[in-house]
Structure 1
Amino acid sequence: MSFVGGIVIFCITWMVVLFTVLPWGVRPQSEEEGEMEPGTVESAPANPRIWIKFAMTTVITTLIFIIIWTIFELELIDLRAFFQNS
């Protein structure tokens, strides 16, 4: 796997994992005690904790990327041979 290919795979995996992590622990403002933020809808998240979700996404993606990199480097799955025979 080339360096640029690794960056592309990491970025795509990061985005997929981010959209998986985003709904974790989200509670709408209507369920939280206290006032709603003026100008927002009831379903808007009360405390999205986006930086924690970015950190969790990065950790999960790094683990997934290590697995993908290991598979390609040890040639456990040879995609070139697979696509040449197709």
Structure 2
Amino acid sequence: MNWTSIVAIYVLFWVLSAFVILPIGVRTHDELGLEKTPGQADSAPGNFRPWVIILRTTLLSAALFGLYYANYTQGWVDRHSFDFLVTPPTAS
């Protein structure tokens, strides 16, 4: 696998992991008992910490990419693992 492919696939894992991590641990101003700014959405986070989200996203994406790369090199799950999904052709 080329290093550019590795980087591209890792970035895909990172972006998908970010969408999984973003809602975890977020509380609104009402839940935290904080004062809201006029015009602020009721659902706006009151404890948004981007560095924690980036760290968690990086750890999750590294773990997922590690599993992906281990499967790529070891061949644990390949296309033949899904042969049960294809119906065999009938003999005429």
Pairwise TM-score range, normalised by the shorter structure: 0.7 to 0.9
Alignment of 1:6-85 (within 5 A): 6-78=6-78
Which protein is bigger by CA-based radius of gyration? Answer: 2
Q: Per the alignment, in what secondary structure is the counterpart of residue 43 of structure 1?
A: coil
**Aligned-pair identity (%):** 29
Where in structure 2 are there 5+ consecutive unaligned residues?
81-92
Instruction: Give the TM-score of the pair, scaled to structure 2.
Output: 0.75
Q: Which amino acid aligns with 2:49?
A: R
Residue pair 2:28, 2:46 contacting (<8 A) in 1 also: yes
Letter in 1 for 2:74: L
Q: Which moved more, 1:6-15 or 1:40-49?
A: 40-49
TM-score by length of 1: 0.80
Q: Which runs of 5+ in 1 are unaligned?
A: 82-86
Query: In structure 1, what is the Cα distance between the partners aligned to 2:24 and 2:34?
Result: 21
Contact 2:10 2:65 in 1 (8 A): yes
For the aligned residue pairs, the C-alpha RMSD in angstroms reads: 2.0
